[in-house]
Amino acid sequence: MTVIEELIALLLGATAVTDQAGRRVFPVSLPQGRTLPAATIYQVSSQPMYDDDGASGLTEDRYTVDCWGATYTAAKTLAAAVKATLSAYAGTPPGGSIALAFITLEDERDDRESGGDAESYPFRTSLDFIVTSQQ
């Protein structure tokens, strides 16, 4: 499994997330004809970690989870569930194979898609997490 697959499994195993988004947690982008609320997750950066002996075997990756909703409240409610699930998590997700040493929330911001038909554009809360993992 990849770290993104592990994070998706964690989110789909959390009742607080599935109560809001069902099983609509996707890698990278929303599929066409999406139903909201939903979440997407993608990797922003990755870097190996080093200690006095060289490469430590740990990596520190930044992932963004975008929480989408038809309303601002729906996006924020899903974001709160995602934060509660991932922030300060440490362990190997059930059925997973990658040890997630620690997850920290680094940033949160709100936005809304834009265009000519503003009423049909969803709201988005983006959450940036730093994931330290042993791979």
Q: What is the pLDDT of residues 91-108, one digit of tens each?
A: 998 888 999 999 999 999
Q: What is the pLDDT of residues 42-80, one digit of tens each?
A: 999 999 888 888 787 889 999 999 999 999 999 999 999
What CATH number is given to the structural domain containing 110? 3.30.2000.10
Mean pLDDT: which of 21-35, 74-88, 117-131 is highest?
A: 74-88
User: With contact defined as beta carbons under 8 Å apart, do 133 and 98 qualify?
Assistant: yes
Domain that holds residue 56: 3-134
Q: What is the pLDDT of residues 7-51, one digit of tens each?
A: 999 999 999 999 999 999 999 999 988 899 999 999 999 998 888
Instruction: From 83, 94, 101, 100, select the one nearest 39 (Cα to Cα).
Output: 83
Integer distance in angstroms from the first to the last C-alpha of the chain? 10
Residue 78: the pLDDT is: 98
The domain tally of the chain equals 1
Residue 55, CB-side half-sphere exposure with 13 Å CA sphere: 7
